[in-house]
Structure 1
Amino acid sequence: MASPAMRIGLVGTGPWARETHIPAMTAHPGVELTGVWSRDPASAAGIDVPRVADFDELLAGNDAIAFAVPPSVQARLAGRAAAAGKHLILDKPIADSLTAATALVDKIEAAGVTSIVCFTRRFAPETRAFVAAADVADVRSGSGTWLSGSLLGGRYAASAWRAETGALFDVGPHVIDLLDRVLGPITGIVGARHDAESDLWTVMVGHAAGPDTARTSTMSLSLRVPVIPTVTRFEVAGPGGLVSLSERRTTSPECFSVLLHEFLAAVATGRPHELDVRRGLAVQRVIDAITRTVSHQDRSSIASV
């Protein structure tokens, strides 16, 4: 006998929710998208999903809550959802500060609920093939590039939190997470610069490795470079060769469908997913270290993570 579908409520009705969360959850056989709640009711116009009056009503009728809202809003509401015993599908970054992210992790762990963070591209088969190849290639250094003009025009140009925090908080988590995964945990920021006009972040980081092997990587991030389409490129290299990733053939709803499948399995087994809230916290620590390095204008010393 098949298990009943998990009842999930969605917070947020912006472009990301419309193009990724709603299509994937509506189509998934193991999920029932019961309703959505938006802080701005007008933004939910045209969505063919039941709308609820407030966040408490969304909590009352569901087993899990998914979030597609700014990080500051997510951190506050996800903590309430965890306290109510709801499993969580979180967006990245998990909060707008390291303090808020740490507090959220504490609440989730105290509640004993399952969490997963939407590092979207990590659920794509091309990304998983890249990770698998890097794992056997003895890679020592690498680079991650994510350049976009999404704040110059289009559906995300009106996003206030993206305009305020820029590429480091929006696409940065994807790059940080993947480089950290294939080269080892990021332990320090060797150097970081941010050009505010172009929102261009240039960052060099150090990774944990063996005593005789230093590992480093560089990141280039922007949401204000006029490139069409968006450029995403990862390369890692070492004695075992060069491993590259530039494909994005898997759509975001397809990636989110895989996320849902693995989220349901994590809930059923009680085993934490690799990309749970603690992974989100690890990425948040790196974001915080990069921000501190830039704000202190200290380009020569290493900021610890």
Structure 2
Amino acid sequence: MSADPIRLGLVGVGVIARSQHLPAIAASPRFDLIGAADRKGDLDGVPTRTSLADLLDVVPDIQAVSLCTPPAPRFTDARLALSAGRHLMLEKPPGATLAEVRALAEQAEKAGLTLFATWHSRHAAGVEPARAWLADKTIRRVHIEWREDVRVWHPGQDWIFAPGGLGVFDPGINALSIVTCILPVAFLLRAARLHFPENRQTPILADLAFETVDGAPVTAVFDFLQTGDQTWSIRVETDGGVLTLTNGGADLFIDGEQQSGPAHHVVLGGEYAALYDRFADLIAAGRSDVDLTPLSHVADAFMLGERVAAPAFHF
């Protein structure tokens, strides 16, 4: 690989792209954003087209694509990028179904291209130290509280309540991505209650009961109707003490004593800077990273979950 920056195209210039991806790309010496595609708007400073196909025609020098569109319609663009010989990075969740992401992984492998299914919350400041501390511990109990206000984080975004939009699992999958990373043992879903607004197709509240393969309970509450302070916390009781992650994994406590640096909000750009570094490393090494475990847990919840009627929801 050349030391020159990787020439990047960005597809989907919405809220997450503007708040996270664009600052991370601008700060990275390893990428050069040379084009964008979005159905609704332009991106100042680079050629922008309404489709990835048009963008690749106009800017054929693009080497890698970062795909930030919602998961339901993403497969077509993802397949196109790989078919055109471009490395591909997928915003979380990596796709609308497990099967389509597996198909993309197979396509990338056959083409010798990098496919990176990202989980940004795994790069929060407290996550790797938490994983290291838990590595030799026996897990006794885990509880996850992931409560946020959908009107704040997804204002007017009806796609999140449409089929494939995941509803409250859109943030909840961040928690699952952390827990599947830090626990030294696998866990399986045993029961779920999913609360669907009467006018929506995805849940707004989820109560989940998992169990580790060793029999320890792992419970979770995902809530999209939280107002005021937002809650993103994970508590792990072990034979060696209690570990707590707060602020979406940014802050780590052991037996109540803070281990990481000063508290900072989960949406700071450090996580996305780490994602782009990882993407560049994977391209340089000729490797892919496609961990579907968090999405598998969500799929299991939809398969096993009891559907509970909830009041209609309107933005």
Question: What is the TM-score of this pair, normalised by structure 2?
Answer: 0.81
Task: Give the structure with the larger helix fraction.
Answer: 1
Preserved CA contact (<8 Å) 2:121 2:178:
no
SS in structure 2 of the partner of residue 103 of structure 1: helix
Aligned to 1:284: 295
Preserved CA contact (<8 Å) 2:208 2:221:
yes
Preserved CA contact (<8 Å) 1:142 1:179:
no
Compute the displacement of 1:148 (Å): 0.6
1:260 to 276, 279, 288: 276
Percent sequence identity is 23
Preserved CA contact (<8 Å) 2:122 2:181:
no
Preserved CA contact (<8 Å) 1:90 1:118:
yes
Structure 1 unaligned blocks of 5 or more: 298-305
Preserved CA contact (<8 Å) 1:175 1:219:
no
Aligned to 2:84: 84
| Distance in 2 (alpha carbons) for counterparts of 1:107 and 1:271 | 13
Counterparts of 1:48-197 in structure 2 under 5 Å? 48-52=45-49, 54-59=51-56, 60-150=60-150, 153-154=151-152, 156-164=154-162, 165-184=165-184, 186=186, 188-197=188-197
- AA paired with 2:204? D
Preserved CA contact (<8 Å) 2:193 2:307:
no
Compute the displacement of 1:271 (Å): 4.0
| Distance in 2 (alpha carbons) for counterparts of 1:2 and 1:253 | 26
Compute the displacement of 1:251 (Å): 4.1
1:294 to 305, 308, 312: 305
Runs of 4+ aligned structure 1 residues displaced above 6 Å come to: none
| Distance in 1 (alpha carbons) for counterparts of 2:2 and 2:115 | 23
| Distance in 2 (alpha carbons) for counterparts of 1:108 and 1:252 | 31
Change (3 A) 1:140 1:219: same
Aligned to 1:231: 231
| Distance in 2 (alpha carbons) for counterparts of 1:291 and 1:117 | 21
| Distance in 2 (alpha carbons) for counterparts of 1:47 and 1:169 | 32
Compute the displacement of 1:103 (Å): 2.4
Aligned to 1:301: none
- AA paired with 2:215? A
Preserved CA contact (<8 Å) 2:113 2:287:
no
Preserved CA contact (<8 Å) 2:211 2:218:
yes
Question: What is the TM-score of this pair, normalised by structure 1?
Answer: 0.83
Compute the displacement of 1:115 (Å): 2.2
Structure 2 unaligned blocks of 5 or more: 198-202, 251-263, 309-315
SS in structure 2 of the partner of residue 72 of structure 1: coil
| Distance in 1 (alpha carbons) for counterparts of 2:2 and 2:76 | 35
The alignment's C-alpha RMSD in Å is 2.4
